[in-house]
Amino acid sequence: SQGFMYDPSADEFSFTGGKMKQAFQNLVRGGSFESWNTPGWYSAWYGGSYTTTIYAKYGTKSLYIDDSSNTQTAFKAYYISNWDRLKGSNVTLSVWARCDSGTATASIGIGTNTSSNDATVVNNINLTTTWQNFSFTYSVPSNASTLKVYLYGSEGTNGVPDSSKMSTSSVYYDGVTLAEGKLSLEYG
């Protein structure tokens, strides 16, 4: 057994042999999509809505994206407030997702460049009709000019979502969490 202590002034845990820096705060507001107009969330080329169907992991609603366009990739994104303090550090994105039938590939990621309408880095996620949790750690560059979370309805190619690879199945997202550090948080 090793000594394990939390120092609230430094917001870190220490234990015999080292320290673990982890912020236990969700930087995303409205990640369960219970409200349509949650501040910070925006859409582009968006073919989706909120739903009150059985497709909800937390609460009664989830984000629904039907990527039916063949010219643009449908997405919903969230601006992280006070993101400047995260430059040069790691953030971990945790998302619950599923599709409505069969299987589908979608992508999630972060954006750190204000001149782009797409994520800087995306990860493809393979979905089934069962809720699954996906978690990825990203490095926020020291020269980042913004920090945004992106949820897409189609898979990505070479790090960018690709509208030619849109899914034939609708994608549902719920329980979105972004935390400073390399550990993902349970939504709540």
Mean pLDDT, rounded, for 140-155: 91
Report pLDDT for 118.
78
pLDDT at 174 > cutoff 70:
yes
Q: Which of 41-45, 95-99, 123-127 shows the lowest per-residue confidence on average (mean pLDDT)?
A: 41-45
Q: Single out the residue of 40, 132, 61, 133 nearest to residue 94, CA to CA.
A: 133
Residues in the chain: 188
Report pLDDT for 66.
76
Global pTM reads: 0.81
pLDDT at 167 > cutoff 80:
no
Residue with tokens 């994608």: 171
Q: Are the C-beta atoms of residues 142 and 88 closer than 8 Å to each other?
A: yes
Distance between CA atoms of residues 105 and 154, nearest Å: 6
First to last CA, the chain: 29
Mean pLDDT, rounded, for 74-78: 83
**pLDDT band for position 176 (50/70/90)?**
very high
Task: Report which DSSP code applies to 86.
Answer: G
Of 3-17, 32-46, 130-144, where does the model show the most confidence?
Answer: 130-144
